[in-house]
Amino acid sequence: MQSMNEIKDLFRAAREDELPALIKTYESDERAGVKKLVETAYKRLDSLQKERERIFKLQEYERKYSDYTYICGIDEVGRGPLAGPVVAGAVILPKDCDILYINDSKKLSEKKREELYDVICDKAIACAVGYATPERIDEINILQATYEAMREAISKLDPTPDILLNDAVTIPKVNIRQIPIIKGDAKSISIGAASIVAKVTRDRLMVEYDKVFPEYDFAGNKGYGSQAHIEALKKYGPTPIHRRSFITHFI
């Protein structure tokens, strides 16, 4: 008879498609520990089924516009911070995209975003980011700078998208059909993927800035106006990555 540890290792290592066979093999085992493993496997399968159903709903817009070959999701991160760039993500996913757990990046843990970033970049037909610097934000305002970052991200895509699914906005000076979707990062898998790519890209950049300007805790606050960030701003003054038009209330 197999030991509990051996069976536990089998369940732990099993892929989702292997779970039904494992359950069938061990569900008649009377040991309490094995029963618990089988019960957990059933819950895992149920959870996976619910996630597939959620992802199916998240593909509603992609199905609606499925006549288009290359559907691109667009989203931005970083309109509100006091420091750092605004970053736009643009992602074209394959029509048969099977990536689970994509969602509005704000609803995901940092660990899950990092995991999904790698999967999205690996499986996407095309994936790109665009930036607008703090200087550019001060020069033309945050909204226009966001549009510039989005246009840059779109321009880097190969192939060129046929249609854009945007999170809420319509981007000026773009000759591709656009569908603005309110709260699109939670309603479209393409926009959700773009939000994750933009968020992870920007967060990694702010962690690097933290090494250059450690007093401001950019690794922790990502440039947003936390109390510690504002106190450092008042004590040390602005860095080259601060948005001067955003910090007039503090210095």
Residues 188, 224: one domain?
yes
Whole-angstrom CA distances from 229 to 142, 176, 203, 208, 210 are 20, 40, 16, 16, 11
**127 plus 91 within the same structural domain:** yes
Residues 35-57 have a mean pLDDT of 94
Residues 13-36 pLDDT 10s? 988 888 999 999 999 998 999 999
CA distance 147 to 169: 9
Q: Which CATH number does the domain housing residue 183 bear?
A: 3.30.420.10
CB atoms within 10 A of CB 152: 17
Last residue of some domain: 58, 82, 97?
58
Beta strands in the chain (DSSP E): 71-77, 86-92, 126-132, 163-167, 177-181
Residues 183-206 pLDDT 10s: 999 999 999 999 999 999 999 999
| pTM across the whole model | 0.90
Clarify whether residues 50 and 85 are in a common domain.
no
91 plus 191 within the same structural domain? yes
Specify whether 111 is located in the same domain as 45: no
Q: Which domain holds residue 10?
A: 4-58
Cβ proximity of 22 and 40 under 8 Å: no
